[in-house]
Chains A and B, each alone.
Chain A
């Protein structure tokens, strides 16, 4: 009897804990912007048989019948797992599917949840074939991995609570408390432009937004796309100024695999030329950002 009582008490406790959890998160729905059911992949090209060189990485992937992608499951608009369908949606996710279709003929991908501290190692030891994860191309990183692309270019900007004054540009952050996502390029960017800013980091975007609203910091620095989506959902937050960085995102590949890099760059050129890149953008980031986007020039940044 005692054990049954104990189990019941436990269950009750757990439920209290869970409902409390739900309470804190209720301000932020998991998926910003309606994601249209993606048929964007249906039109993307498939590589010619001659392009799949014998003995190459492409051939290995084709034989396996699945492209293994290092990516996120929690990046809204880019690569986020839909809690209802289990599908991974967004710009990065669709790009991965499009590449899989180009190599294999079918959009079959397996996403390995990687993080900024593991992706170099995952590529080096062959756990993943490619990384699509807002992977900013830098010369330091290019010493350890190869970058195809850039396939997208974005920038960081500032968000504040409505009514905040005195913050107009990144230099104004000196002496302020700045919220940033852990493991985002925002941290080194702030350290460079405002060395006297105090940076607090939280794991996910909803946590950062919550922290901004709870006045744990004066400003939240994040990718502009994400912040636009946040400000649309939440009128108590507003964006300040224009993006102050340019972050060219690359497709991470194993270091030294020149054939594969050439192959992926060739694929990027193709989908940028035939309008598929634009279609994938419209279906994800384009649901939030108005207008048209132009893809960055391939190989245009140091490290790519």
Chain B
């Protein structure tokens, strides 16, 4: 275990980058996912089509392919951003597709009568979504969103392949020096497990607090 403990400052630095990646891309995914959900349930056919196309595109391309394309392909057409920023944007766009599907299942879980009642009261589409449908939809999909958060955390490790020095890349580098893969990767794995456990704990609490008593 000393191979892991001797490099704690490096691992801490890697963990910070992983947390940055996770937090920033989840925030981005939440915003984009919400917009895509709105598109997918909208009454306008073209908008629904755009939403479906987005989800199908990002769910059917592997994240690693997207990362490599964005990091090496975009500079060829003159778009160049930092590695960390590129990774955040790509992971956010990718996870947004999954988040949108989870949110949509939540929207579908809201009884049709709720939407009809909102319209009968004279609310517009976006008002009824904001005040009636989404608050109820979000409550039913707290667990799936928690799962997506955990999956996103694990997916940030792919950023190691495009030069972002996060937890996995750090573990690789330390192992190169120490040649002790088992303690080093078990250590890195525990850090990921800790993030996942926190996410599980938070979603559990949220679910109990926000439960709807009908």
Contacts and interface: CB of A to CB of B under 8 A. Distances in A.
Q: Do A and B come from one complex?
A: yes
Interface of A: 6, 9-10, 13-14, 17, 20-21, 23-24, 116-118, 120-121, 138, 140-141, 143-144, 179, 182-185, 187-188, 199-203, 207, 210-211, 214-216
Contacts of A185: 176
Contacts of B56: 6, 9-10, 13
B173 interface: yes
Given A185-B176, A188-B176, A120 B181 contact: yes
A194 to B, nearest CB: 15
**B contact residues, range:** 20 to 34
Given A9-B56, A216-B83, 4 more contacts: A118-B181, A121-B182, A138-B179, A144-B180
Contact of A202 (B57, B80, B161, B171): B161
Contact of A24 (B57, B73, B161, B175): B73
A214 B80 contact: yes
B96 interface: no
B212 interface: no
Contacts of A6: 56
28 contacts: A6-B56, A9-B56, A13-B56, A13-B61, A14-B60, A20-B69, A23-B76, A24-B69, A24-B72, A24-B73, A116-B176, A117-B181, A143-B179, A179-B163, A182-B169, A182-B172, A183-B172, A184-B176, A199-B165, A200-B163, A201-B169, A201-B172, A201-B173, A207-B72, A211-B72, A211-B163, A214-B75, A216-B83
Contacts, number: 87
B76 A24 contact: yes
Given A14-B60, A23-B76, A200-B83, A183 B181 contact: no
Contacts of B44: none
A120 B56 CA distance: 41
A188 B7 CA distance: 13
Minimum-distance CB pairs A-B, first 6: A200-B163, A214-B75, A141-B179, A117-B181, A24-B73, A24-B72
Contacts of B85: none
Nearest to A116: B176
Contacts of A184: 176
A250 to B, nearest CB: 12
Nearest to A210: B72
B176 A183 contact: yes
Contact of B163 (A23, A141, A201): A201
A17 B59 CA distance: 13
A183 B179 CA distance: 11
Contact of A140 (B83, B161, B178): B178
B65 interface: yes
A143 B179 CA distance: 9
B173 A187 contact: yes
Given A210-B72, A214-B75, A216-B163, A140 B60 contact: no
A116 B60 contact: no
Given A200-B83, A216-B83, A117 B60 contact: no
B162 interface: yes
Contacts of B184: 117
B47 interface: no
B179 A17 contact: no
Nearest to B185: A117
B177 A140 contact: yes
Interface string B61-76: 1000100110011011
B179 A120 contact: yes
A263 B114 CA distance: 80
B160 interface: yes
Contact of B57 (A13, A144, A188, A211): A13
A216 B82 CA distance: 8
Contacts of A182: 160-161, 169, 172
A73 B154 CA distance: 26
A89 to B, nearest CB: 25
Contacts of B165: 199-201
Contacts of A10: 56, 60
Nearest to B164: A200
B36 to A, nearest CB: 16
